[in-house]
Amino acid sequence: MITRNLIFQSSKIFGRSQYNLHTSSVKCEIQKMTKLRVVDNSEIGKQAMAEGKPPKCIHVYNKTGIGKIGDRVLVAIKGEKKKGILVGLKQNQKPKVPKFDSNNIVLIDDSGTPLGTRIHVPIPTILRTIMKEKTHNKGADYTKILGIASRFV
C-alpha cells in the first residue's frame, strides 16, 4: 500500500495520471523461440552472431520443454537446423550454480562432438557431472565440450 501511494504521489509531481505496476516476475527460461548466444568459435555461430541474427530455440530435448544447464536443444541458425548444449542461463539456478547475463549454447553435431574448437566464456563446473551422466546414458560423447573449455566457474 505504501508503494502504491508513493507511485500515485510521484505521478502527480511528474504530471502522469496513470502508472505502470508489474507484479509478475520475468521468466528467463529456455523454451521455444528463445534467442540464444553461441559461445564457441564454430564458423556458422560466428557468422550468425556477427550479422546480429542469433539462433532461436526450436525444441528442447526433455520432458518439460523448458531447458536447464546441460540440456540438448535444436536451434534455427542462418536457415539451418543445428543441435546445441546449454552451457549458461539467465534463469535463477540452484545454490552454487552461476547465473549468466545471456543464454549460452555450444553447437554440436549428431554424435555430440562440438562444431568449434574453443569456448570463449567460462562454463559452470556442475556441467562436468551433468555431461558425464548424459554421456553414459545416450551413447554420445558430450565430454568433449569439457575438453575445449578453457575456464570453469
If you search the block for the grid coordinates 520475468, which residue do you land on? Answer: 26
Q: Quick one: pLDDT at residue 14?
A: 55
Q: For the chain, what are the domain ranges? A: 25-148
Q: Quick one: pLDDT at residue 107?
A: 96
Are 61 and 72 in contact by the 8 Å Cβ rule? The answer is: yes
Q: How far apart are CA 81 and CA 16, in angstroms?
A: 48
Q: Quick one: pLDDT at residue 99?
A: 84
Q: Quick one: pLDDT at residue 26?
A: 58
CA separation (Å) from 2 to 16, 99, 121? 19, 32, 43
Q: Quick one: pLDDT at residue 66?
A: 92
Please, what are the averages of pLDDT over each run of 10 residues along the chain (153 residues)? Answer: 52 55 65 93 94 94 91 94 93 80 92 92 89 70 86 89
Q: Which of 3.40.50.1580, 2.40.150.20, 3.90.226.10, 2.60.120.590 would CATH assign to domain 25-148?
A: 2.40.150.20
> What is the enclosing helix (H) or strand (E) of 57?
strand 56-60
DSSP 3-state assignment of 74? strand
